[in-house]
Amino acid sequence: MKKNSLFLFRRIVHVVSLFLLNGHFKTFLTGSLYGGKLKNICIPVLNCHSCPLALTACPVGMIQQFLALGVKNGYSGFLYIFGLIGIPSMFLGRFFCGWICPFGFLQELIFVKKFKLKFPAFLKYLKHILFFGFVLLFPLLFKNNLGIGTPTFCKYICPAGTAEAGFWGLASGVGRFSFVLFGKIIILAAVIFFSLRIRRFFCRICPMGLLLGFFNKVSFLQLRVNDKCDNCGVCKKVCPVDVDMPRDLSSINCIRCGKCVDACPQKALSLSFRAGK
């Protein structure tokens, strides 16, 4: 395999999937959101369904929306979304983060190697707080007068929602500038700032990434190392999310981007569906 062949292929997949997920160009004429059958499904990436270009539903948003309806009313919807995430993830694990996610793609494009910073260790468990707190627990707890919960991650945190839907909402007059939106813009600015200096910054704290990361342990697609490995450390150096390669091959942080596979001078690493080592 030629050097960087996976990288080039991944770039093509990123661009194609960006347009496949956000191909509702009719919105430029109508100004409306897409409302067809594709919105019945979600692809396990962070892509806000309130973006006027979005063709599919956001899994993180839909989990919160169904939980906000309460356990009794929302459980089948929650299971439906969980199933839609689980089936492809059983085959591919966090492949979606590395190859499909538009927000991950954006972060890769804006990263400047010259200003590189180390990811702060104290933020290691922020993704757990975001997922178990803001995505799963708080929408169940914080309810309005009608007894409907709040999608707290979407409302207070999600930088993808701010970038894809918030600014459009402001420009089109759907909503007015508010304190909550101001806070979200600050979060988006911080995420962009740190993404310039830390590779895949948001992917390391992404709640969707955490959920997909658990599937890295059991998915059919696995990173594998053969006995040609001489522990030179190149794979660890090129890893965009600082996985302890080649020891922690099924780490929940691995986004299956294949950079290590491309970089390995011994060609000891592979990303494959084979059942054995």
Partner 1 sequence: MKMKNNVFLRIVLIVLFALFVAEGVRKGSSAATGGISSLICLACMGFR
Question: Which residues from 6-25 bind partner 1, rule CB under 8 A?
Answer: none
- When the beta carbons of 169 and 258 are compared against partner 1, the nearer one is 169
Who's near 155: CB < 8 A, 6+ residues apart?
180
For residue 239, give both structure tokens. 């890893």
Shortest separation between residue 184's beta carbon and partner 1, angstroms: 4
- When the beta carbons of 68 and 254 are compared against partner 1, the nearer one is 68
Phi, psi of 149 (to 5 degrees): -75, 175
- When the beta carbons of 148 and 232 are compared against partner 1, the nearer one is 148
Q: How far apart are CA 120 and CA 143, in angstroms?
A: 34
Residues 230-249: x/- map of binding to partner 1 (CB under 8 A)? --------------------
Question: Which residues from 140-169 bind partner 1, rule CB under 8 A?
Answer: 150-151, 154-156, 158, 161-162, 165-166, 168-169
User: Interface with partner 1 includes 174 (CB under 8 A)?
Assistant: yes
Task: Please enumerate, as own/partner, the contacts of 109-114 that have beta carbons within 8 Å and a separation of 24 or more.
Answer: 110/192, 110/195, 110/196, 111/195, 111/196, 111/197, 111/198, 111/199, 111/200, 112/196, 112/197
Sign, CA torsion 71/72/77/81: positive
What is the dihedral angle through the alpha carbons of 261, 91, 10, 24, rounded to the nearest 10 degrees? Answer: -170
User: Interface with partner 1 includes 178 (CB under 8 A)?
Assistant: yes
Question: Which residues from 212-231 bind partner 1, rule CB under 8 A?
Answer: 218-220
User: Interface with partner 1 includes 65 (CB under 8 A)?
Assistant: yes
Who's near 144: CB < 8 A, 6+ residues apart?
150
Rounded to the nearest 10 degrees, the angle between the axes of helix 102-110 and helix 179-197 is: 60
Q: How far apart are CA 216 and CA 248, in angstroms?
A: 11
- When the beta carbons of 155 and 259 are compared against partner 1, the nearer one is 155
Residues 40-59: x/- map of binding to partner 1 (CB under 8 A)? xxx-----xxx---x-xxx-
User: Interface with partner 1 includes 121 (CB under 8 A)?
Assistant: no
For residue 241, give both structure tokens. 């999310």
Question: Which residues from 182-201 bind partner 1, rule CB under 8 A?
Answer: 183-185
Residues within the interface to partner 1 (CB under 8 A): 33-37, 39-42, 48-50, 54, 56-58, 61-62, 65-66, 76-77, 79-84, 86-87, 90, 150-151, 154-156, 158, 161-162, 165-166, 168-170, 174-176, 178, 180-181, 183-185, 218-220, 275-276
